[in-house]
């Protein structure tokens, strides 16, 4: 599986199609008071679904990263107990099945790991391929360190143990940042909703107040400019609150 490519299932397609239709209807009503504006926005659904797939792929990567960290922690513990590399991954698979279930992302990857191992593929090649497909920094870094440690020798168990320790510290830092930013993200999204809510309120309660901005070139230009600024502001605020270690 290439984790950078997300394929929507039928339920997700229906869900996000309805969301886009409702959003497009609200924008066409609040900003343009025109059914034609709704029709113009329909082709933009391609960009919307592209962004949806990107967001969902990111969430899946985050989920995989968390599961992977638990997996390598299990591998490190088994290596410290004297298990071989293959047996350490085997024990990790049992742990992941108990922790996340047999249908989880990391369990599927471990099943794939052993299917390739049975064909004679080395663990280094399997992990390198996993790192490339996952497109997750922690997984890519671990795969690279694992390959170098196996290739160059040295205290393999110590190297892997220190790598796991560093990754756990990084994860703890990210979790602390996420807790700190939770309130800020809530405020940011609330502030993004307020301008749109104000326009809808005025449109419904005092339609004459905004009538000068509808059905004329000047009004369409102004409202389009406002919509663009609104969209850019939302995108910028999302980036500001998306802090990675």
pLDDT tens sequence across 137-179: 888 888 888 888 877 766 777 777 788 888 888 878 877 877 7
CA 175 to chain centre: 15
CA 45 to chain centre: 20
What are the tokens at 177? 């940042």
Give the pTM: 0.83
Task: Count other C-beta atoms under 10 Å from residue 128's C-beta.
Answer: 16
Structural contact between residues 89 and 109, judged by C-beta atoms closer than 8 angstroms: no
**How far is residue 61 from each of residues 46, 135, 164, 165, 230, measured CA to CA in Å?**
23, 8, 18, 21, 29
Nearest to 123 by CA among 104, 100, 83, 150: 150
Q: What is the pLDDT of residues 50-86, one digit of tens each?
A: 999 999 999 999 899 989 988 988 888 888 888 888 8
Q: What is the pLDDT of residues 169-217, one digit of tens each?
A: 887 887 787 777 777 777 777 888 888 888 888 888 877 777 888 888 8
What 8-state DSSP symbol labels residue 81?
T
What are the tokens at 162? 């220190």
What are the tokens at 140? 């890519």
Residue with tokens 């389009």: 224
Nearest to 92 by CA among 107, 112, 108: 107
**How far is residue 35 from each of residues 18, 25, 39, 204, measured CA to CA in Å?**
17, 8, 7, 17
Q: What is the pLDDT of residues 12-45, one digit of tens each?
A: 999 999 999 999 998 898 888 888 889 988 898 9
Mapping DSSP onto H, E and C, the string for 75-90 reads HHHHHHCCCCHHHHHH
pLDDT of residue 154: 62
Nearest to 174 by CA among 54, 69, 91: 69
What 8-state DSSP symbol labels residue 212?
G
């Amino acid at each position: 599986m290439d984790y950078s490519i997300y394929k929507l299932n039928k339920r997700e397609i229906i869900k996000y199609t309805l969301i886009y239709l409702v959003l497009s209807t609200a924008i066409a009503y609040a900003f343009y008071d025109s059914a034609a504006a709704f029709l113009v926005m329909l082709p933009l659904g391609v960009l919307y679904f592209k962004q949806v797939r990107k967001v969902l792929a990111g969430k899946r990567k985050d989920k995989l990263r968390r599961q992977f960290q638990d997996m390598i922690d299990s591998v490190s513990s088994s290596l410290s107990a004297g298990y071989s590399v293959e047996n350490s991954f085997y024990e990790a698979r049992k742990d992941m099945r108990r922790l996340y279930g047999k249908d989880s992302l990391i369990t599927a990857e471990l099943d794939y790991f052993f299917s390739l191992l049975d064909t004679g593929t080395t663990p280094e090649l399997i992990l390198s391929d996993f790192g490339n497909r996952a497109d997750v920094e922690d997984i890519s870094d671990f795969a690279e360190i694992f390959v170098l440690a196996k290739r160059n020798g040295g205290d393999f168990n110590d190297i892997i143990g220190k790598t796991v320790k560093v990754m756990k510290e990084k994860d703890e830092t990210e979790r602390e940042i996420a807790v700190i930013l939770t309130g800020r993200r809530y405020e940011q999204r609330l502030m993004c909703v307020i301008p749109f809510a104000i326009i809808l309120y005025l449109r419904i309660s005092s339609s004459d107040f905004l009538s000068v901005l509808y059905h004329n070139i000047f009004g369409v230009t102004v409202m389009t400019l406002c919509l663009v600024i609104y969209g850019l502001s939302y995108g910028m605020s999302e980036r500001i609150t998306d802090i990675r270690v």
